A and B are shown apart, each in its own frame.
Chain A
Amino acid sequence: MAISPVLPGRGRSGEKFGKFIGIGPFVFFLSTDIPLLAAMIETLYEGFPAWEASANRFADFHVGVHRVSGMRRIVRRQAVFDIDGFRPFFPLASGQALMMLEGGLNWAIAENISFFLVIHAGVVERNGLAMVLPAPPGGGKSTLTAGLVHRGWRLLSDELALLSLEEGTLSALARPIALKNESIGVIRRAAPQSWMTPPMPNIEGGDVIYLKPPADSVARIGERAVPAFIVVPRFQRDADAALLEPKSRPQAFRELADGTYRLSLYGRRGFETLAGMVDRCQCYDLRFSDLDAAIQACERLTRGALRR
């Protein structure tokens, strides 16, 4: 692995943005020399605890997106993500800076945290009960999460479930939600009052936008939640509006284990924590073609309409 150290004072110009931001159980120092990105950070992370760069404090990670120096800067206006002086990814166009930052934050948490189990799943909460939404690709997890959140469910995360090894509870990040392609229109119609960034080109093609988290979810970031439901969303255009099917626990465990970052490194403790969560939850597959119907199905669950 090659380390490209980011030496202070090189390749920067314009006002540099740098702040400590508390995101759930972590503190990140975020920095950038791209004014548009700085403005978006201020808006999307409004209400999160923040400290000035001069504050004498500890941050779990120092991350940033900065313009690449040299020819690339002039010809192609590129920027790159860096973390603790290390650049794990190729540069992208400056217009995709927010995507680099959010993707980089996900990577920092998923691949560099050893004191939570980190699962690739959305987490929402209602009536004190948390619902974990594991993420098969194209399953519609983010769309469903965004839909539920704008119907009053609390957002813990749209991407990363943080499961405590000691207590088995879930911790919140309440970060902006990434929406792609058709989902953008769907959520814009469902929640016209929510704040969205302008669309930017996704690496895989199509568009992506980021949705500002609801102020209530941000205010309640510190509240941990007890897992009660595991619901695997599978969007299918030609399916019923929404169909909730009970799922066996061993199957749910297998899918969650597949979606847990670096599970083998946690050894037996990791296995037992994950199994413990599955044991305590009701597990379902949710096939849907209509977002409203899917949301209603989830709401019925928490009202106890469907019991195993």
Chain B
Amino acid sequence: MQARIDTAEPLLRAILAAPARLQELSGRDWDLLLRQARASTLVGGLAHAIEQDGRAGLVPPEVWRHLEGERRFAQRLAHDVRQEVERVAEPLRLAGTDVILLKGAAYVLDDLPPAHGRSFSDIDVMVPRSDIAAAERYLKISGWRSKELDRWDDRFYRVWMHEVPPLVHAASASVVDLHHTIVPLTARIQLDARLLFEAARPAALDPTIKVLAPADMVLHAATHLFNEGEFDRGLRDLVDLDLLLRHFGQEPGFWRRLLARAEQLDLGRPAWYALRYTARFLGTPVPEATLRESKRFAPALPPVMDRLFERALTPPHPSCRGIGTQLALTLLYWRAHHLRLPLHLLIPHLLRKSWKRGAGAGQVAQPGVPNLNR
């Protein structure tokens, strides 16, 4: 049983790749599908995928009411995000700094497919490094406050990562993360953020807000998924990539531009992973020529990485994550930290993190905990 957990294709992933297979499902399967979707924060996303494929009729009403309900909640949240973005954008306009909106909020403002059925947490924005102090100042004047962090974490955020510690709005409790690049300062891969600002474009639903160019958006999502060691939302991030590639892939020349940009920004490896695994696990129609040309970015041992990521890009649910998967996740966690930090910083950081984790984390006693369906 244990062996099967770690080798079988997870039900949720199989359905996302081929929604027509819903007709094969029995009661127990629907049960498992919903629970895997909940664990993956993909209930709304699954609803959207099923509807887009015209298969809503295959879903029994007792299941569909969950999917549809969460999808409606997500629409409501997307509406709220637009208001919250304005709370960030206004002070930054006053600061006179260049701003690019990133990730989930950018998908909403640019009316992109990954926005549908999505839950939102923080708002991520990127400003030029030279403007970060001014940006933080203007945000604080407008009611944003630093979250409480101890001195180590605060220093870690500011100096070694690419982030100002998160800011919370006093009235609305939204959280904004200020970035000045899309990979950490100390990472082995160095990236010239100016290139990203030069290529940025107005968001579809609000031209006063800028978002990344299509290829940059894909590469950012790919880097975030494949270079950072957290995979609780791994499958959801892969779904985002699939949707972005399908959407932008319709533009003539996109695939060629994507690879050229990956080369230019030195993000070829994450691009290789993104193209390979979206095609393999979600059936993304990546052109053969693109897959061939991306081979120059491949890692030394593709079969090893294939095995690791095949396990990591699964719903974080006991039905598909056994001890084999736990091992894969640990290895990828170490890899991510190795990519982010030189050794002399990595070891103290990891030691401190594991000490904090052991000292009692994870459970919340009071009501008001987040819900399961997201």
Q: Hey, which bits of chain A sit against chain B, CB under 8 A?
A: 1-8, 27, 55-60, 62, 83-90, 107, 111-115, 262, 264-267
B318 contacts A by Cβ under 8 Å: yes
Q: Are B70 and A90 in contact (CB under 8 A)?
A: no
Given A58-B63, A88-B369, A107-B367, also A7-B27 (CB < 8 A): no
Q: How far, in whole Å, are A90 and B362 apart by their CA atoms in the complex?
A: 10
Q: In the bound complex, what is the Cα–Cα distance between A265 and B120 (angstroms)? A: 13
A2 surroundings in chain B (CB, below 8 A): 361-363
- B304 within 8 Å of A by Cβ? no
A113 contacts across to B, CB distance below 8 A: 69
Known: A112-B373, A266-B76. A56 touches B26 (CB 8 A): yes
List chain A residues, Cβ under 8 A from B293: none
CB atoms of A114 and B72 under 8 A apart: yes
Chain B residues with CB under 8 Å of A6's CB are 318
Contact with A along B8-41 (1 / 0, CB 8 A): 0000000000000000001110110011001100
Q: Given that A84-B35, A115-B66 are known contacts, is A5 also in contact with B369, CB under 8 Å in the complex?
A: no
> In the complex, A115 Cα to B303 Cα: how many Å?
45
Interface check B237, CB cutoff 8 A: no
Known contacts A114-B69, A265-B73: A84-B39 contact under CB 8 Å: yes
B66 to chain A, nearest CB (A): 7
Task: Please list the residues of chain B having a beta carbon within 8 angstroms of any beta carbon in chain A.
Answer: 1, 26-28, 30-31, 34-35, 38-39, 60, 62-63, 65-66, 68-70, 72-73, 75-77, 79, 232, 316-318, 321-322, 361-365, 367, 369-373
Apart from the given pairs A262-B371, A265-B77, 8 other A-B contacts in the complex at a CB distance below 8 Å: A7-B318, A56-B26, A56-B27, A89-B363, A89-B365, A114-B73, A115-B68, A265-B76
CB–CB A264/B371 < 8 A: no
CB-CB nearest in chain B for A3:
B316
Among A27, A83, A85: residue with most chain B CB under 10 A: A85
Which residue in chain B gives the minimum CB-CB distance to A2? B362
Give Cα distance in the complex from A7 to B34, angstroms: 18
A28 to B321 CA separation, bound complex (whole angstroms) = 24
Contact B62 A58 (CB under 8 A): yes
Residues of B within 8 A of A7 (CB): 318, 322
Q: Is the CB of B317 within 8 A of A115?
A: no
Find the B residue at minimum CB distance from A114: B69
Tell me the complex Cα distance, A264–B371, Å.
Answer: 14
17 A-B pairs in the complex with CB atoms less than 8 angstroms apart: A1-B364, A5-B318, A57-B27, A57-B31, A58-B34, A88-B364, A89-B363, A90-B363, A111-B372, A112-B373, A113-B69, A114-B66, A114-B72, A115-B69, A265-B73, A266-B73, A266-B76
Return chain B residues, CB-CB under 8 Å to A84. 35, 38-39, 372
A20 to B129 CA separation, bound complex (whole angstroms): 57
In the complex, which residues of chain B have a beta carbon less than 8 angstroms from the beta carbon of A60? 62, 66
A58 touches B30 (CB 8 A): yes
State A27–B317 Cα separation when bound (angstroms). 21
Expressed in whole angstroms, the minimum distance between the Cβ of B60 and any Cβ of chain A is 7
**Residue of B at shortest CB range from A27?**
B62
Is A57 a contact of B72 with CB atoms below 8 Å?
A: no
- With known contacts A88-B364, A111-B369, A62–B318 Cβ distance under 8 A: no
- Whole-angstrom CA separation of A84 from B39 in the bound complex: 8
Residues of B within 8 A of A265 (CB): 73, 76-77
- A93 to B373: give the CA distance in the assembly, Å: 28
Cβ–Cβ contact B373 & A114, under 8 A: yes
Let me know if B316 and A5 touch, CB within 8 A: yes
Contact assessment for B362 and A58 in the assembled complex, using a CB-CB cutoff below 8 Å: no
Q: How many whole Å from A107's CB to the nearest CB in chain B? A: 7
A238 to B317, CA, bound (A): 54
Q: Which residues of A contact B362 (CB under 8 A)?
A: 2, 4
**In the complex the two chains form, is A58's CB within 8 Å of B363's CB?**
no
Minimum Cβ distance to chain A for residue B209 (Å): 23
Q: Which residues of B contact A1 (CB under 8 A)?
A: 364, 369-370
Shortest Cβ-Cβ A-B pairs, 6 listed: A114-B69, A2-B362, A57-B27, A115-B69, A115-B65, A90-B365
* A85 adjacent to B69 (CB under 8 Å): no
Q: Which residues on A sit within 8 Å (CB–CB) of B72?
A: 114, 266-267
A8 to B320, CA, bound (A): 12
In the complex, how many angstroms separate the beta carbon of B165 from the nearest chain A beta carbon?
20
For B43, the closest partner residue in chain A by CB is A114
List, in ascending order, chain B residues with CB within 8 A of A267's CB.
72, 75-76, 79
Per the bound structure, the CA–CA distance linking A57 and B361 in Å amounts to 35
What's the Cα separation between A304 and B254 when bound, in Å? 72
Whether A5 contacts B321 in the complex (CB less than 8 A), given A111-B371, A115-B68, comes out as yes
Q: Which residues of A contact B28 (CB under 8 A)?
A: 56-58
Residues of B within 8 A of A55 (CB): 27
When chains A and B are docked, how far (Å) is the Cα of A189 from the Cα of B205? 65
Q: Is the CB of A59 within 8 A of B31?
A: yes
In the complex, how many angstroms separate the beta carbon of A95 from the nearest chain B beta carbon? 18
Knowing A90-B365, A111-B371, A267-B76, say if A85 contacts B317 (CB, 8 Å).
yes
Docked-complex contact B35 and A62, CB < 8 angstroms: yes
Distance in angstroms from B26 CB to nearest chain A CB is 5
Chain A residue at smallest Cβ distance from B365: A90
For the complex, what is the distance from the CA of A264 to the CA of B318, rounded to whole Å?
32
